[in-house]
Amino acid sequence: MTPRTPVTTPAGATGTADTDDADSTNGTDGTSRETGTVAGATTFAGLTLDRHVHASDRAVNLARDVLSGLTANPRELPPKWFYDATGGMLFDEITRLPEYYPTRCERAVLDGHASDIAAACPADTLVELGSGTSEKTRLLLDALRAAGGLRRFVAFDVDESTLTQAGRSLIAAYPDLAVHAVVGDFERHLSHLPSGGRRLIAFLGGTIGNMRPAKRGAFLRALREQCGSTDALLLGTDLVKDPDRLVAAYDDGAGVTAAFNRNVLTVINRELGADFNIRGFAHVVRWNAADSWIEMRLRAVRDQQVTIDSLALAVDFQRGDDLLTEISAKFTRDMITAELADTGWAVAQQWTDPEGDFAVTLATPSTAPEAAPV
């Protein structure tokens, strides 16, 4: 099956594609669109909130990604667009599914080793990238607090609704902790991470696997550049295993992952005035052994045309045409060590759950990273 090209060309949706980068100076230029308070942060109900992605930037970026993704061959969308309030809730439901082992396995590692992690890196600031609900993160907060020095938690996520909800819940649970929520894209806004103190930067859940190898490399290098010699990275990665288990984790019997996958179409319908018929696309999952990743796709169940008003774009799908919505890479322990070494990180310690399904790696800055490829 070969994806077809769209029938209509779009009318100028790309000109301001990088406006969020311009706006993201918000965190450092001393002004905020919200209140004009200093340091670009808004504080309400004890929660400090920095926004590096504003509603208007979000629309421009979504338009850019949908335009390039739906006019490409093969068609593809970046996975960050799953995560509106509904997508965040669906992901949360996924983490409790019997087939979806990664969250349980990573929690088991943190349950068993959070105190080892805190001993190895007694940070005063825990930063979490792609933080979501920050549920498992509480194990790290508890261990760092017990180690004595914890003052601040920085949660960084592109989905403001889940982020602020998680932030409020953490303020209630940890009244002595300064909670700082940052709405940003970890592929663009790492330079705006709050600095100062000794930071443990957690990137959990296997989210790094949702990036292709080149993007992972760029991300790890960019993060390394932001880190001082006493900072450390705590990286959660799913491990290669029996393909049947892998596929089942992304194609659950209750259909929650299918709803999560189709949610990206609902986001595009709402935010770009598109008319995707959600039932016109089937949820398809396959294990790509050559690239060591799961692929999640939406496959047209019939011939159809979709129009996207904001882009003045019409896209033809023939029955069987695919749209790749996510990859989820699965690693070996050697792959993790090699990718970290290539990007300026040295593995300090690594743990897995008892079954060896999921790894959590503590890494420290090694030599100065090589210059990122342009």
Residues of this chain that interact with ligand SAH (CB under 6 A) are 80, 83, 88, 91, 95, 103, 130-132, 157-159, 162, 185-187, 204-205, 207
Smallest gap from residue 146 Cβ to ligand AVI (A) = 28
Which residues on neighbouring strands pair with residue 237, listed in sequence order? Answer: 359
312 φ/ψ sector (left φ>0, alpha ψ -120 to 50, else beta)? left
Q: How far is the CB of 206 from ligand AVI (least distance, A)?
A: 4
Give the one entry of ligand AVI, ligand SAH, none that residue 343 binds, where binding means its C-beta sits below a cut-off of 5 to 8 angstroms depending on kind. Answer: none
**If contact means CB under 5 to 8 A according to the sort of partner, which of ligand AVI, ligand SAH, none does residue 80 touch?**
ligand SAH
**What six digits make up the tokens of 109?**
């590692």
Helix (H, G, I), strand (E, B) or coil at 72: coil
211 or 315: CB nearest ligand SAH: 211
Centre a 10 Å sphere on the Cβ of residue 88 and count the other Cβ atoms it contains. 23
Q: How far is the CB of 98 from ligand AVI (least distance, A)?
A: 14
State the DSSP code for 147. H
Q: Which is nearer to ligand SAH, 186 or 331 (CB)?
A: 186
Nearer to ligand SAH, 185 or 321 (CB): 185
Tally the residues of the chain: 374
In this structure, what token pair is assigned to residue 169? 């819940």
Chain positions contacting ligand AVI, by CB under 6 A: 94, 102, 205-207, 209-210, 250, 257, 260, 326, 328
Cβ-based nearer residue to ligand AVI, 18 or 187: 187
Give the DSSP per-residue string, 33-66: TTT--GGGEEEETTEEEEESS-HHHHHHHHHHHH
CB of 331 to ligand AVI, least distance (A): 12
Taking CB within 5 to 8 Å according to partner kind, which of ligand AVI, ligand SAH, none is near residue 310?
none
> For residue 341, which of 369, 360, 372 has the smallest C-alpha distance?
369
In eight-state DSSP terms, residue 198 is -
